[in-house]
Amino acid sequence: MTTAATDTEAPPQAGRTQRSERPSTLALLLNNRLAAAGLVILGVIVATALAAPILPLDDPNATNPAGRLAPLFSEGHILGTDALGRDTLSRLIWGARVSLAVGFSASVIAAVVGSAIGLVAGYAGGRTDQIMMRLIDMLMAFPYILLALAIVAILGPGLINALYAIAIVNVPFFARNIRGITIGLARREFVDAARLSGKGPLRILASDILPNVLPTIVITLSTTVGWMILETAGLSFLGLGAQPPQADLGSMLGEGRKVLFTAPTISLVPGLMIFLIVMSINLIGDGIRDVLDPRLRSGALARPSFRTAILPDRARPASTIDPAATLDVKNLETQFRMGSEVYRAAGGIDLRIARGECLGLVGESGSGKSVTAMSLMGLVPSPPGVIAGGLIGFKGEDLADAPDKRIRELRGGAVSHVFQDPLATLHPLFPVGDQLVEAIRAHQRIGKSEAETKAKDLLALVRIPNPEARMKALPHELSGGLRQRVSIAMALANDPELIIADEPTTALDVTVQAQVLRLMDDLRRERDAAVLFITHDFGVVSEICERVAVMYAGRIVETGRTDEILKEPAHPYTRMLIDCVPIMGEPERRLDAVPGRPPPVNRLPPGCAFADRCPRAQADCRSGDIPLEKKRGSLEARCLHPLQPGESLT
Amino acid sequence: MTAIIAKRLLAAIPVLVGLSVIVFLMIALIPGDPATAILGSYATPENVARLNADLGLDKTLPQQYLAWISSVLQGDFGRSYALNRPVIDIVLERFSATLLLAGAALILATIFGLLAGIVSAVRQFGLADKTITLVVLIGISVPSFWLGLILILFFAVRIQLFPASGMVAIYGGGGPLDILHHLVLPAVTLAVVATGVIARLTRTAMLEVLRQDYIRTARAKGLSERRVIYRHAFMAALVSVIPVIGIQAGFVLGGAVYIETVFQWPGVGAMLVNAISQRDILLVQGGVLVVAASYVLFNLAADVCQTLLDPRLK
């Protein structure tokens, strides 16, 4: 839960490199300074406790009424003596021995019993699972320590009974966690295979499932051992655990309390020891969880900031921005920096959109088209995103140089966005009307009721029936098409001059898709707004865009007027993308995507990035930088052997 | 709203029944003769025989349970042999003190846990985050009974700001301010662990939510970071933190056992510890049942809150 923040050394995203470069679990654990410190502290304490019989210590139970309540650093008693004149240091070490033994034993019992219940319930399923889990739920319905008290009340006070009580109350944690994992595993192919090979359930559990749930058992153990040591000490402190003359850290603390005001150290010292033990275990536990939980390791939990980071010394192209264009992007480079790896998701992009024009940005997933579009308003998550170079011209102003305040002003104002999946992009807990009103009032100084009227008008504008009633609807109560209309209404709220639409119709079914496209096209013409339309689908492009830019591996490989590109593209990649579009009445047409995969953008080959998948590739395609050049008509392509008019791919 | 509450109440009934069965079984599970265990080893044979008949030990277990639960539902939990008073009277008297202590601790833990979690998430990897993470780690590792002693030594003995023990001053005490004065140290001590747990989970929940697409939408709308974080992100994170607060109520009610012992707070926890030492089983049974049932009801309340906040759960 503290995630990588306990890890002060490595940046959070350091782990997300190549699989083969991943360091071992132990190395990662030691890399985590706090976890390593925990290991050292716990190691020293455990070693000292184990060595208690051979250390030159006084008899922990030898009383000496004459030397009672000696202070710290007395002659012969470094930590002083207690109310009966017993040596505190000796009692501390022997007491730690008892506490550690009891705590670890309770943990092992809880882990074994709980895991066994979880394995059986998860594997058997059905009635067995139901009954077992109901019983576990019953145990969890009790406040944690109260159940331990009830068990001690039944069994009677004593150290062993306290041990059982703590073990029992921790069984449910293991049972639940292990059952969850086992249920998933029991349906997997390798378990089916084992079953078919005639193995019995017990053997399958032991040889096929147990090894896979072991990490979960370790994580659960590492997060509960600390508690269990703490709680057994607590029961002893209450006088319900260790009984005199036997002493653990908890009972020492409880006894010392009687002389708290005259000799506070007698109770404070064993308490400090409990604290050190529990804290070191928790440090190790956090470290183990960080290492074993791949989601935390990948740094996925890093918080994106307000705006994409921009390198202060970013590369600036020599050319200047055209103030006449609504959008004029020059040589934009956006990178993802993960540890020592640099992924050039957008590697030198030029885009130009005139007022009222619609430009389609097309490419496979991972081609960098969304990153390019999200870079414009600084919406690429940072970390790990960084804008490393280029100019982002908006009506003559370079947005990469604009202060945060200006960016906030433009966002949702002059520049608005429509995103792909409106179920994920609208806030799930707020009514859509409120979200619209919020968008309006972020940019217009008007009262709430006036904004509500405007919101209703906007809903009507995007042809949502009965806007009055829909205002109060939550996103999940609307259909996909209606939700996307709400997003579009939100994008239109403050009369934008540029709309950035990132796959706005991809999540919709075909008829709704057509309606939404028509709506966007109408509204754009009505309001004379420029649109950057991102899609992977040439079918959509042909309906709405005047010009197209095709992206591959972070660069634009072809651009030109839509009709020309659709008819006779110059770049082989564009041809292959166009061939993916289904055509009515040609059911046998191949619909699979372009075969092969694009190269990773942190290891781009020299020359053309598409060469490995290109049927026309020749030796000269694999060296040097291939420029984006004018080929014919409005077409520009990054290709040495472009398709000629009428030429087919093969 | 009423429908939701009614539905959750119905769902809580089997849990309460199961709970009562387990608590009932406490007596049956005691090794040896229950009546002797309840009355102590000095009990006269006549008393043992009479209690055996009262408990209906000659009947089957289900019959015993029905007889027991019907008297419990009428408020009859039996008599404490050690205090020679009806169990229900003692438990209710003590329970109000525990509720006050646990309630105060839970409120403190919720406020400071949420605050610390948000700050930690917003300043992720910054100095504030690292400091909070470290303090939280110390908070969830520190034995509360030890921390209580330290606080007593400092605040009650050294600077004499708060009283060391009890709920009211011996002379002229009992007013609300006096009780509040006594409440500070035990409530703070009890809140420490729960604050840590809530802070940790809030941080994770906030980081989880801040990565969501709808936060990007909120930013794309041009909202201020303050509004993005405290309205859009926090409301969504709260939905997943509320059940945790419900669970923490259980830890706080349980942890009250230590704190009541350390601060001699006259609650159920301290009563239970004494009752266990004196083998006053009926009193233990009554105390456990009341606290556990209140915990179930508290979780139910958390559940209802969560449903109200997140309409998708309806």
> Which among A289, A427, A443 is the top mutation candidate for probing chain B, defined by the most B β-carbons within 10 Å of its own β-carbon?
A427
In this complex, which of A279, A304, A442 lies closest to B138 when CB atoms are compared?
A: A279
Q: Which residue reads 């033990």 in tokens?
A: A277
| Cβ contact, residue pair A303, B122, below 8 Å | yes
- Do A277 and A96 touch, CB atoms closer than 8 A? yes
pLDDT tens readout for residues B65-117: 888 888 889 888 888 877 888 999 999 989 999 999 999 999 999 999 999 99
- Do A239 and B277 touch, CB atoms closer than 8 A? yes
Q: How confident is the model at residue A70 (pLDDT cuts 50, 70, 90)?
A: confident
Closest approach of chain B CAs to the CA of A136, in angstroms?
Answer: 11
In this complex, which of A226, A264, A304 lies closest to B141 when CB atoms are compared?
A: A226
Q: Quick one: tokens of A106?
A: 């309770």
Closest approach of chain A CAs to the CA of B46, in angstroms?
Answer: 24
For residues A440-464, average pLDDT: 90
A509: phi then psi, degrees, rounded to nearest 5:
-80, 170
What is the distance between the alpha carbons of residues A176 and A171, in angstroms, rounded to a whole number? 9
B-chain residues near A150 (CB < 8 A): 23, 26, 284, 288
pLDDT tens readout for residues A88-102: 888 899 999 999 999
Q: Do you know the residue count of chain B?
A: 314
What is the distance between the alpha carbons of residues B292 and A140, in angstroms, rounded to a whole number? 10
pLDDT of residue A451: 92
- Do B245 and B198 touch, CB atoms closer than 8 A? yes
- Do A607 and A619 touch, CB atoms closer than 8 A? no
Q: Which residue reads 């309409």 in tokens?
A: B311
Please indicate if any CB of chain B lies within 8 Å of the CB of A438: yes
Helix (H), strand (E) at residue A67: none
What is the distance between the alpha carbons of residues A350 and A331, in angstroms, rounded to a whole number? 5
Closest approach of chain A CAs to the CA of B202, in angstroms?
Answer: 9
Q: Residue B44 above 90 pLDDT?
A: no
Please indicate if any CB of chain B lies within 8 Å of the CB of A306: yes
A500: phi then psi, degrees, rounded to nearest 5:
-100, 110
As a three-state string, the secondary structure of A77-123 is ECCCECCCCCEHHHHHHHHHHHHHHHHHHHHHHHHHHHHHHHHHHHH
As a three-state string, the secondary structure of chain B is CHHHHHHHHHHHHHHHHHHHHHHHHHHHHCCCCHHHHHHCCCCCHHHHHHHHHHHCCCCCHHHHHHHHHHHHHCCCCCEECCCCEEHHHHHHHHHHHHHHHHHHHHHHHHHHHHHHHHHHHHCCCCHHHHHHHHHHHHHHHCCHHHHHHHHHHHHHHHCCCCCCCCCCCCCCCCCHHHHHHHHHHHHHHHHHHHHHHHHHHHHHHHHHHHCCHHHHHHHHCCCCHHHHHHHHHHHHHHHHHHHHHHHHHHHHHHHHHHHHHHHCCCCHHHHHHHHHHCCCHHHHHHHHHHHHHHHHHHHHHHHHHHHHHCHHHC
Q: Residue A424 above 90 pLDDT?
A: no
Q: How confident is the model at residue B208 (pLDDT cuts 50, 70, 90)?
A: confident
**How distant, in Å, are the alpha carbons of A400, A604, B135, B245 from that of A342?**
20, 11, 35, 42
Q: Residue A62 above 70 pLDDT?
A: yes
B-chain residues near A300 (CB < 8 A): 211
B-chain residues near A257 (CB < 8 A): 149, 262
Q: What mean pLDDT, rounded, does chain B reach? A: 87
What is the distance between the alpha carbons of residues A97 and A637, in angstroms, rounded to a whole number? 75
A-chain residues near B29 (CB < 8 A): 154
pLDDT tens readout for residues A304-341: 788 888 888 888 888 888 888 899 998 999 988 877 78
pLDDT tens readout for residues B132-189: 988 999 999 999 999 999 999 999 888 988 888 888 877 777 788 888 989 999 999 9
What is the separation, in whole angstroms, between the first and last Cα of chain A? 55
Query: What one-character DSSP code corresponds to residue A205?
Result: I
- DSSP class per residue in A382-396: TTTEEEEEEEEEETT
Tell which A residues from 116 to 155 touch B, by Cβ distance under 8 Å: 134, 137-139, 141-146, 149-150, 152-155
Q: Residue A375 above 60 pLDDT?
A: yes
Q: What's the pTM value of the predicted model, to 2 decimals?
A: 0.85
A343: phi then psi, degrees, rounded to nearest 5:
-100, 120
pLDDT of residue A6: 35
Smallest CA–CA distance from A253 into chain B, residue: B146
Helix (H), strand (E) at residue A173: helix A159-186
A-chain residues near B255 (CB < 8 A): 145
Percent of chain A with pLDDT over 70: 91
Nearest CA to A577 among A552, A546, A608? A552
CB atoms within 10 A of CB B290: 20
Q: How confident is the model at residue A5 (pLDDT cuts 50, 70, 90)?
A: very low
Q: Quick one: tokens of A213?
A: 């749930």
| Cβ contact, residue pair A300, B211, below 8 Å | yes
* 3-state secondary structure (DSSP) of residue A19: helix
- Do A249 and A94 touch, CB atoms closer than 8 A? no
Closest approach of chain B CAs to the CA of A425, in angstroms?
Answer: 4
Q: Residue A317 burial (CB < 10 Å; 0-12/13-18/19+)?
A: middle
Percent of chain B with pLDDT over 90: 39
Residues 6+ apart with CB under 8 A from A211: none
Q: At what angle do helices B268-277 and B87-122 cross, to 10 degrees?
A: 120
- DSSP class per residue in A110-170: HHHHHHHHHHHHHHH-HHHHHHHHHHHHHHHTS-HHHHHHHHHHHH-SSHHHHHHHHHHHH
Q: Quick one: tokens of A446?
A: 């008007």
Tell which A residues from 211 to 270 touch B, by Cβ distance under 8 Å: 226, 230, 233-234, 237-240, 253, 257, 260-261, 264, 267-268
What is the distance between the alpha carbons of residues A429 and A87, in angstroms, rounded to a whole number? 62
Nearest CA to A540 among A573, A576, A503, A571? A503
A262: phi then psi, degrees, rounded to nearest 5:
-90, -40
Nearest CA to B77 among B60, B93, B61? B93
Q: Quick one: tokens of A178?
A: 């292990």
Q: Which amino acid is at A468?
A: E
Closest approach of chain B CAs to the CA of A153, in angstroms?
Answer: 5
Q: Do you know the residue count of chain A?
A: 650
Nearest CA to B52 among B31, B33, B72, B30? B33
What is the distance between the alpha carbons of residues A125 and A104, in angstroms, rounded to a whole number? 31
Please indicate if any CB of chain B lies within 8 Å of the CB of A303: yes
Closest approach of chain B CAs to the CA of A154, in angstroms?
Answer: 5
pLDDT of residue A431: 92
